[in-house]
Amino acid sequence: MTDVVATTLSAAPMQDDVTLDFRGQTVVLSGGSRGIGLAVAKAFVRSHADLRVLADDPTLTSVVAELATSAKGKVSGRIGDIAESGAATAMLSDIPKIDVLIANAGMERLTPIDDLSAEAEEYFRRVIAVNVIGTYLTVRAAVPKMRSESRIILTSSVWGKSAVGEFGAYIASKHAVIGLMRSLARELGPRGIRVNCVCPGWVRTEAALKSLRQMSERSGIGEADILDEVLTSQCLPGFQAPDDVPGLFVFLASSLSRNITGQAINIDRGEFLG
Amino acid sequence: MSALSLRLDDKKALVVGASSGIGREVAREFVLQGADVTVLADEEAIFEVADCLGQETGRVIKALRCDITDRDLLRANLAAIDCLDILVHNAGFERLTPLGDFKSEDLFRRIIDVNLLGAYYVTNELAGRLRDGGRVIYTASTYSKYAIARMAAYASSKHALVGMLRSFSHEFGGRRITVNAVCPGWVNTEFSNRSVRQIALDTGRSVEDVGNEVLRLQAMTGHLEPREVVGGFLFLASDLAKDITGQTIHVDRGEYQD
């Protein structure tokens, strides 16, 4: 509602964006052997990217072979532990340039504060080592191969902004990932590199189902009842499947989002509004 | 496997506040993506926008002109719409309302009327006509999350708009209709440029100095053009965003981190 009269309409349509085509672009994805990561891998294969998948899981070899059967671009995998110093650098050593980095690898464990076992402490350290330090090391290995207009996407969680009990390590780690993303967005923005987070809600993955089982065991409330309570808190009905999530990754990797940086966007059917 | 798509073929869309700036560019992109678009604004220019867009794309673009805060007039105009897949509510109004300026009370009321109540009226009128699986997309602002001085009315209206959409996202969720907002940063539009000029005048600084101060808040350099904000709207309107609701997406080059 301004007093400016439209006489000409500007520029060309966004034809380069509409197909979300990543032909000729190198996408590096960590934690791509299962769950959300595997669904993201499939989406980028469909979008014709050259894809490098990193995972600590020996099944990666067969996952990559399966992905390659339908791929127009190159698909390759490297097995290693991103929490180990130098591992991410080694897994990317043969890649000269990276257009998109998706640091998605993460782990989820129950870590109640009243569990005084050595095992609980070890889990806590391991969750932080993989989710926070591993993410940092993956980004650090990738940035030298990036240029202006490269994109970094970190997988956080709605639990990067909200919390439930007994998941202290995981929730601390996902809050930390958002903090890391915000700092990196400021640091890399002047170079034209964008950094954002995807925050999935409850998604039907092995990790989420395991957490659900553990929550049920500790609380004595049935798994179905816990799940029902979660789904009732969502605005949109139903339990998200891994394939419901990649659209946001693809958007943040595309030039459609070229003016978006420093954001943590929820894809959770409206579980957490903020 | 087919590639992911942003196409809006056969979708019926209404863009409210489409006579210039961001709204006009959103309408244009939606037409190019195959949507059947109606545009609405409280200005004669809306007919010219529809004509230009029609000529450029070879499509028929319907235009409606009315003041969205006039409920009866709004209802009469919206009678032309029988059903809708995508509502983009972009109509908004920005003026400085400094504390202690007793002349700005009417302006304050008007900003709340247009930006908040107008959005409520339009959504309320069309709620029953939105198809299952549809989209409601509001234009909020970075000032829906923080504020600078002299922006009390505008920032209030945009903060409130976000609160309203979060409530609406619960109400629409059962029908799989998502409700979200795009929060643009400082975009080169007549409204924001006017605010920058006014701030410069009020504070005795140069327009350039005030503008640079805003740009320095961004993680990335450069002044956004209206067209550069469109990607956020197209994404939220597309199938890719079907599981995103009750959210705000900042398209602001990292001015505000949310």
pLDDT > 70? residue A11: no
pLDDT tens digits along A46-71: 999 999 999 999 999 999 999 999 99
Residues of A in contact with B220 (CB under 8 A): 189-190, 192, 194, 259, 261
Q: How many CB pairs under 8 A join A and B?
A: 198
Q: Which of residues 175-204 of B touch A (CB under 8 A)?
A: 176, 178, 185, 189-191
Binary contact (B49, A260; C-beta < 8 A)? no
pLDDT at B258: 85
Q: Is B231 on the interface with A (CB under 8 A)?
A: yes
Per-residue confidence at B100, pLDDT binned at 50, 70, 90?
confident
pLDDT at A120: 94
Tell me the two tokens of residue A271.
Answer: 């579980």
Q: Which of residues 67-86 of A touch B (CB under 8 A)?
A: 70
Collect all residues with Cβ–Cβ distance below 8 Å to B174 and sequence separation of at least 6.
A237
pLDDT at A8: 35
Separation of alpha carbons A226 and A164, rounded Å = 12
pLDDT at B1: 47
Cα A274 to Cα A26, A159, A161, A268, B244: the distances in Å are: 32, 11, 8, 11, 12
Taking all residues of chain B, what is their mean pLDDT, rounded to a whole number?
A: 95
Give a three-class secondary structure readout of chain B. CCCCCCCCCCCEEEEECCCCHHHHHHHHHHHHCCCEEEEEECCCHHHHHHHHHHHHHCCCCEEEECCCCCHHHHHHHHCCCCCEEEEEECCCCCCCCCCCCHHHHHHHHHHHHHHHHHHHHHHHHHHHHEEEEEEEEEECCHHHCCCCCCCHHHHHHHHHHHHHHHHHHHHHHCCCCEEEEEEECCECCHHHHHHHHHHHHHHCCCHHHHHHHHHHCCCCCCCECHHHHHHHHHHHHCHHHCCCCCCEEEECCCCCCC
pLDDT > 60? residue B244: yes
Binary contact (A17, B29; C-beta < 8 A)? no
Per-residue confidence at A4, pLDDT binned at 50, 70, 90?
very low
pLDDT > 80? residue A10: no
The whole-angstrom distance between B109's CA and the closest CA on chain A is 17
Tell me the two tokens of residue A15.
Answer: 């034809």
Binary contact (A189, B56; C-beta < 8 A)? no
Per-residue confidence at A15, pLDDT binned at 50, 70, 90?
very low
pLDDT tens digits along B1-13: 456 899 999 999 9
pLDDT tens digits along B33-49: 999 999 999 999 999 99
Binary contact (B173, A265; C-beta < 8 A)? no
pLDDT > 90? residue A126: yes
Residues of B in contact with A269 (CB under 8 A): 173, 243, 245
pLDDT at B101: 86
E runs forming strands in chain A: 26-30, 50-55, 75-79, 100-103, 151-155, 194-200, 264-267
pLDDT at A1: 33
pLDDT > 70? residue B222: yes
Tell me the two tokens of residue A171.
Answer: 């929730």
pLDDT > 50? residue B215: yes
State the ipTM, two decimals: 0.92
Q: Which of residues 241-270 of A touch B (CB under 8 A)?
A: 244-248, 250-251, 254-270
Could you tell me what percent of chain A has a pLDDT over 70?
93
User: Model's pTM, two decimal places?
Assistant: 0.93
The whole-angstrom distance between B115's CA and the closest CA on chain A is 11
Strand order in the sheet with A26-30: A75-79, A50-55, A26-30, A100-103, A151-155, A194-200, A264-267
Q: What is the mean pLDDT of residues B207-211?
A: 94
pLDDT tens digits along A18-51: 569 999 999 999 999 999 999 999 999 999 999 9
pLDDT at B103: 85
Task: Report the topology of domain A26-202+242-267.
Answer: Rossmann fold (3.40.50)
Q: Evaluate whether B13 touches B38 at the Cβ level (below 8 Å).
A: yes
pLDDT > 60? residue B247: yes
Per-residue confidence at A243, pLDDT binned at 50, 70, 90?
very high
Per-residue confidence at A115, pLDDT binned at 50, 70, 90?
very high
B120 tagged catalytic: no
Q: What is the mean pLDDT of residues B233-254?
A: 98
Tell me the two tokens of residue A237.
Answer: 């009905």
The whole-angstrom distance between A110's CA and the closest CA on chain B is 27
Range with lowest mean pLDDT among A253-262, B85-94, B187-196: B187-196
pLDDT at B2: 57
Tell me the two tokens of residue A116.
Answer: 């005084």
pLDDT > 90? residue A232: yes
Q: Quick one: angle between helices A35-46 and A60-69, nearest 10?
A: 30
pLDDT > 60? residue A222: yes
Per-residue confidence at B205, pLDDT binned at 50, 70, 90?
very high
Range with lowest mean pLDDT among B114-118, B148-152, B171-175: B148-152
Q: What residue segments make up the domains of chain A, in order of their start? A: 26-202+242-267
pLDDT at B4: 85
Per-residue confidence at A14, pLDDT binned at 50, 70, 90?
very low
pLDDT tens digits along A76-87: 999 999 999 999
pLDDT tens digits along A185-200: 999 999 999 999 999 9
Separation of alpha carbons B22 and B40, rounded Å = 13
Taking all residues of chain A, what is their mean pLDDT, rounded to a whole number?
A: 93
Separation of alpha carbons B116 and B93, rounded Å = 10
